[in-house]
Structure 1
């Protein structure tokens, strides 16, 4: 398909691979995303995440993200620790460099196995050589308040995403989240005065995110 002009402040409903392939190259200033972890996750109420049962999307999705991102810019991607080999291979093949690792510290255990899991992880990925001097440097441990997962089975708190946007996206920039879920990353972008573009496959989560962002935009008007 022929790419069209990059839409701003909207959420596309559909498969992110199909959607990203229609977008113009090097039009995004920052990517912040929490993709499926490939763990077949199911929460206590039985809710699941679409495409969490296969890894087929990982390599082509990050290849598209790399194409869409401007040169000398950043991506922050959450990942599943038990699938890091798949994620890191896809990042490297796409052209990303891993330039930092972020731990999101929880005061509660989200699950228990051999260990009680009190944190989540994300990698800071670079395309090219971003300037290290023109932005606010943040720490690599960020507190993650509990959201209650009311809107999504793996809902991230806006407060934990805000410093990432402040540090890694220019004030006039646009943020892309190809797996936007309930829209927390987009809410954080809206609250920080950045433009945003989300993509979500699940129709229910797309409705939730769209309603949530409409409310944020109405408040800002």
Structure 2
């Protein structure tokens, strides 16, 4: 006589079949009535996503953990020399080139972190260009806390939100007035001290 199938195996088969049937039914209903399902889900998803943005802004903004090292990169749309390395900033699909990089430690690193913690997070702020020319990586004890691409043109930076890097608007603070020059932000000035200012590439002659 064939050996009887153990009870636990039969239970697992029934559960697996039930799960498959339920999943198929739910999938079919969602496909047939997707517009209605989307209408019901969208407000809850927007509220959930909004909460995650606020959570990231709090965790990586005012509550950025202690840092002992900051790695900086100055990015350019085109290479300026054969030694420039290609780099894809977080939150961007474009390839940039690292024309200068520097690692700062100790008090200099903590000073940059203080400026970062004083940023004001503004989800609706900023334009939509997002052409980051700076990368800031905050580290502590050899581990990366945050790697963020920064665009001072549209006032947006990237933060890890929902398992990926997304852009969020910021208010960089009151600029310092300099006669006959654009008004730089405190964070921008601090990065310029270490990397030098970003100089746009010359326009191609037609």
TM-score normalised to structure 1 length: 0.22
Higher relative contact order at CA 8 Å, sep ≥6: structure 1 or structure 2?
A: 1
Greater share of helix: 2
